[in-house]
Amino acid sequence: MTPDHISLHNKQFEPYLSAAELQAAIKQVATQLNQDYAGQPVMFVVVLNGSFMFAADLLKEVSLPCEVCFIRVASYQGTNSTGEVKEVLGLTEDLKGRHVIIVEDIVDTGHTMRMLLETLGKQQPASLEVATLFLKPECLQHELALRYVGLSIPNDFIVGYGLDFDGLGRNYPDVYKAV
């Protein structure tokens, strides 16, 4: 049962997207990936920490031969993007000549994604795409060609389903927005 509100670090949140709505969006992204990469091996690069739930559910729906690896980057402090991206945990896999999909929980300013696309692109993958559960189009500060977007949402601060507020809130199966 979904609580009618949650409190994290003295900030209030109300229900925004249900687990069922999230799963429908994830299935749509997986269907598109399965069609676009039919029969081709794919390397999924999952951006931690926020993408862990999305990645787990997305990969359950993907029927492609695939590998999964993880990278950790940080660009948030509290509810705001710092505008500065720091790579915390690097990628050790060789991406040259491979089809690579970056799995991200949310793209808002685009700073993190721009840095990741530039960094991973230097390894000369056969293709490099992004699969994001959420996109905040009005926040984008960089032009990004995003082919796999689960949901476009307004500029609300959200938590749950892997997304956090200073470490709390990732464990909720639904998504909540700040009140």
Question: Are residues 97 and 126 in contact, defined by beta-carbon separation less than 8 angstroms?
Answer: yes
pLDDT, tens digit, 9 for 90 and up, residues 115-165: 899 889 999 999 999 999 999 999 999 999 899 999 999 999 999 999 999
Task: Give the active site residue among 4, 108, 156, 166.
Answer: 108
| The pairing of beta strand 99-107 with beta strand 127-135 | parallel
Residue 1, in any domain of the structure: no
User: Is the confidence at residue 78, as pLDDT, over 60?
Assistant: no
Q: What's the average model confidence in pLDDT over 31-48?
A: 97
3-state SS of 88-138 is: EECCCCCCCCCEEEEEEEEECCCHHHHHHHHHHHCCCCCEEEEEEEEECHH
Q: Total domain count for the chain?
A: 1
Q: If you average pLDDT over residues 160-176, what whole number do you get? A: 96
pLDDT digits (tens, 9 = 90+) for 40-65: 999 999 999 999 999 999 999 999 99
In a domain, 66, yes or no: yes
CATH assignment at residue 110 = 3.40.50.2020
For residue 119, the model assigns a pLDDT of 87
Task: Please report which confidence band the pLDDT of residue 107 belongs to, taking 50, 70 and 90 as the band edges.
Answer: very high
What range does the domain containing 43 cover?
6-178
Annotation says 4 is catalytic: no
